[in-house]
Amino acid sequence: MIRIANGQGFWGDSLEAPVEQVRRGPIDYLTLDYLAEVTMSILEKQRSRDPKAGYARDFVDLIARLLPDLRDRNVRVIANAGGVNPMGCRDALLDAARAQKIPLTVATVTGDDITDQLDKILQRGIELRNMDTGAPLESIRNQVQRANAYLGAFPVAEALKRGANVVVSGRVADAALVLAPMIHEFGWSATDWDKLSSGIVAGHVAECGAQGSGGNCQVDWETIPNLADVGYPIIEAEPDATFVMTKHAGTGGRVTVASVKEQLLYEIGDPRAYITPDVVADFTTIQLRQDGEDRVRFKGIKGHPATKFYKVSISYTAGYKALGQMAYGWPDALKKARAADQILRARLERLGLKFDAMRTEFLGAGALNRMPVPPEVELHLPEVVLRFGVRSHDRKMVERFTREIPPLALSGPPVASGLGLGRPQVEEIVAFWPALIPKSEVHAEVALWRSDS
Amino acid sequence: MAKRQLIELAHARSGDKGDRVNIGLIAKRPEDYPVLVREVTAERVKQHFATVCLGKVERFELPNLEAMNFLLHEALDGGGTFALKADPQGKTYSAALLRMEIDVD
């Protein structure tokens, strides 16, 4: 049995969670997921300013902090922290190891970044059509920033086999980070569909961090103990591909069949076909059983052969947006916010401003999902926030809009508060273009680097 | 027949994929699952979210988990970084579904 602990659900998640995962109980592997879709574009901006940047700097700080623990406890780390510059991340890791005189072997897993090959790929007749809209990439080619394929678990497993203490990758499918050590330790093959599927399910329940162990959980949420010290998921994996999800003893949170079901259903489509680079998992075959306190056992999971494609995430610039807010207090809070909305729209029209989209929402009065507010509730609302957003390809239009929010405080309905926010910021929109690419077009590369050579 | 609000019988979690929201709906007690399957149809969910879901609603059953997965298309104002919504990832749609009232035996 091996213990795989996940310590990061997204870049920006708790800085302490991975440290706790290593120090508060026995684990063999620590996995860390840093790359949300939007992350690549942020990292690209950082690299354009500094060629040494472009990876998750938090990860290097974390490893520097944990180096003695990782050595003493023999824990290996797998992270997709490389972003758009895995080799820069490698250099920083090796520097940290040398500074502490602790030997470190870093593996890089690359080949996901196909930005520079895009034109050749398109010339070969691969259109990289948008999976949602069907449009060919050609329609936005000159707006493209980055293109990264989601690699699978096998290159990561190869890196472990070759002896890496820390594996740092670019874009690798989140769940594959957890599957990789199982492939390595148990010798699973690329056609062990049921086993691979089981490992992917383990990855899926662990990849969102504490959201799998009591965080953001709707079942009896008020009774979930000590979320201030919530334990992150730990997978106890067996060679036969059954596994237990648990967390360290003494931590807060909760792992029950019910809490696990919530995470299993998170961000999935057809449960019979959860498509990953390595396997197509069938979530309708998962059997769960409570196996002691904060332990859930998984078995029976089936999988189907992987597809011939990798998913590619292509980021592209798509105009500008800005969001302004103004709060209105009792009495008639919602009426005032509605009146302010009308005044704002009239002013924007008089200025001749044109937008691709305008959106009004009333926070506190059903903005989140537009469920109705009963009239007797509306009467007593202590405050309502007018939230007004615009989107345009013309930055000047959006800039001009931002100047119309602060004046509302003095020239609109009464009992208004600007919430201390000032003028809204204009934000460039980086959008995502999901596409499929034949696996033959993408070549994963694994390389090893030692701090003492 | 009596009316019950879904929150008494089920829990849920939601998330996004582009302009789509998925809502996992899970029976609190296994014996209530058939009632959920009978009452919480794709059509009813579409109707419940009529003001935010402009596309179709698909439903998938997971009897092994006493759960269903709903996929709401065109439900996030363009989705992702395009959206001007306060809930651009549809995180609160799960609880919004639990406001639905259904007939139980």
Query: Is residue A259 pLDDT above 90, yes or no?
Result: yes
| Total domains in the fold of chain A | 2
Provide the residue range defining the domain that includes B42. Answer: 2-104
Amino acid at A141: R
- pLDDT of A399 reads 98
**Domain CATH code at residue A386:** 3.30.70
Which residues are bridge partners to A302 per DSSP? Answer: A282
- In this structure, the answer to whether residues A295 and A373 fall within a common structural domain is no
Terminal Cα-to-Cα distance of chain B (whole angstroms): 5
**Per-residue confidence band for B13, with pLDDT thresholds at 50, 70 and 90:** very high
**3-state SS string for B1-45:** CEEEEHHHHEEEEEEEECCEEEEEEEECCHHHHHHHHHHCCHHHH
In order, the DSSP letters of A367-388 are: TTT-----HHHHHH-SEEEEEE
B25-46 pLDDT, tens digit each: 999 999 999 999 999 999 999 9
Look up the ipTM and state it. 0.97
Q: What tokens appear for A264 in the block?
A: 């299993």
- In this structure, the answer to whether residues A178 and A200 fall within a common structural domain is yes
Amino acid at A300: G
pLDDT, average across residues A128-148: 95
Contact assignment for A132 to B93 by CB distance below 8 Å: no
Coil, strand, or helix at residue A433?
strand
CA atoms of A106 and A254, how far apart (whole Å): 34
Query: Is residue A355 pLDDT above 80, yes or no?
Result: yes
Contacts of B31 (CB under 8 A, 6+ apart): none
- For A352-390, b/e burial (b = at least 16 CB within 10 A) is ebebbebbbbbbbbbbbbbbebeeeebeebebbbbbbbb
- In this structure, the answer to whether residues A238 and A386 fall within a common structural domain is no
Query: Is residue A37 pLDDT above 80, yes or no?
Result: no
- pLDDT of A324 reads 97
Under a CB-based contact definition with an 8 Å cutoff, are residues A304 and A193 in contact? yes
DSSP state for residue A431 in the 8-state scheme:
E
In order, the DSSP letters of A39-100 are: HHHHHHHHHHH-TT--S-HHHHHHHHHHHHHHHHHT-EEEE-TTTT-HHHHHHHHHHHHHHH
Residue that is last in its domain, among A280, A307, A334: A307
**Using CA of residue A341, residue A342, residue A347, residue A349, what is the dihedral sign?**
positive
Under a CB-based contact definition with an 8 Å cutoff, are residues A180 and A78 in contact? yes
CA atoms of A69 and A75, how far apart (whole Å): 8
User: Which B residues in the span 20-59 are in contact with A, Cβ-Cβ below 8 Å?
Assistant: 20, 22, 24, 26, 28, 49, 51-52
Q: What percent of chain A has pLDDT over 90?
A: 93
Residue that is last in its domain, among A284, A307, A330: A307
Q: Which of B11, B82, B99 sits opposite A429 (nearest CB)?
A: B82
Query: Is residue A36 pLDDT above 90, yes or no?
Result: no
- In this structure, the answer to whether residues A35 and A69 fall within a common structural domain is yes
Under a CB-based contact definition with an 8 Å cutoff, are residues A287 and B63 in contact? no
- pLDDT of A40 reads 81
Q: Confirm whether A329 is domain-assigned.
A: yes
Q: How many CB atoms lie within 10 A of CB A298?
A: 23
- In this structure, the answer to whether residues A247 and A384 fall within a common structural domain is no
Residue positions counted in chain B = 105
Q: Confirm whether A135 is domain-assigned.
A: no
Q: What is the mean pLDDT of chain A?
A: 96
- pLDDT of A143 reads 95
Contacts of A57 (CB under 8 A, 6+ apart): A92
- pLDDT of A48 reads 84
Residues in chain A with CB shorter than 8 Å from the CB of B12 are 218, 262
- In this structure, the answer to whether residues A385 and A280 fall within a common structural domain is no
| Total domains in the fold of chain B | 1
- In this structure, the answer to whether residues A161 and A98 fall within a common structural domain is yes
Q: Does B63 touch chain A (CB under 8 A)?
A: yes
pLDDT, average across residues A76-99: 97
Residues in chain A with CB shorter than 8 Å from the CB of B66 are 261
For tokens 């860390």, what's the residue? A32
- Give B68 to chain A, closest Cα distance, Å: 9
Give the count of Cβ contacts less than 8 A between chain A and B: 119
Q: Which residue of A has its CA nearest to B80?
A: A431
- pLDDT of A268 reads 96
Coil, strand, or helix at residue A3?
strand
- Longest CA–CA span in chain A (Å) reads 73
- Compute CA distances A442 → A115, A257, A414, A436, B46, whole Å: 11, 39, 60, 11, 40
Q: Confirm whether A55 is domain-assigned.
A: yes
Under a CB-based contact definition with an 8 Å cutoff, are residues A338 and A177 in contact? no
Q: Confirm whether A124 is domain-assigned.
A: no
- In this structure, the answer to whether residues A251 and A380 fall within a common structural domain is no
Q: What tokens appear for A396 in the block?
A: 């000047």
A420-433 pLDDT, tens digit each: 888 999 999 989 99
Across A295-299, A374-378, A437-441, least confident range: A374-378
Task: Tell how strand B2-5 and strand B10-17 pair up.
Answer: unpaired
Q: Confirm whether A117 is domain-assigned.
A: no
- In this structure, the answer to whether residues A40 and A188 fall within a common structural domain is yes
Contact assignment for A361 to B16 by CB distance below 8 Å: no
In order, the DSSP letters of B37-68 are: HHHS-HHHHHHHTTTT--S-EEEEEEGGGTEE
Residues in chain B with CB shorter than 8 Å from the CB of A313 are none
- In this structure, the answer to whether residues A89 and A184 fall within a common structural domain is yes
B85-104 pLDDT, tens digit each: 999 999 999 999 999 999 99
Residues in chain B with CB shorter than 8 Å from the CB of A287 are 64
Coil, strand, or helix at residue A393?
coil
Q: Confirm whether A119 is domain-assigned.
A: no
Residue (of A109, A115, A263, A255) closest to A176 by Cα position: A109
Query: Is residue A81 pLDDT above 90, yes or no?
Result: yes
CA atoms of A408 and A139, how far apart (whole Å): 40
- In this structure, the answer to whether residues A284 and A348 fall within a common structural domain is no
Beta strand extents in A112-237 (DSSP E only): 144-149, 166-169, 234-237
In order, the DSSP letters of A134-154 are: ---GGGGGGGEEEEEE-B-SH
Provide the residue range defining the domain that includes A94. Answer: 2-112+150-307
**Per-residue confidence band for A330, with pLDDT thresholds at 50, 70 and 90:** very high
CA atoms of A94 and A34, how far apart (whole Å): 20
**Per-residue confidence band for A38, with pLDDT thresholds at 50, 70 and 90:** confident
- In this structure, the answer to whether residues A187 and A54 fall within a common structural domain is yes
Q: Confirm whether A138 is domain-assigned.
A: no
Contacts of A15 (CB under 8 A, 6+ apart): A58, A62
Question: Which of B19, B36, B57, B60 is the best residue to mutate to test the A interface, defined by the most A CB atoms within 10 Å of its own CB?
Answer: B60
Query: Is residue A125 pLDDT above 90, yes or no?
Result: yes
Q: Which of A218, A430, A432 sits opposite B11 (nearest CB)?
A: A218
A432-442 pLDDT, tens digit each: 999 999 999 99
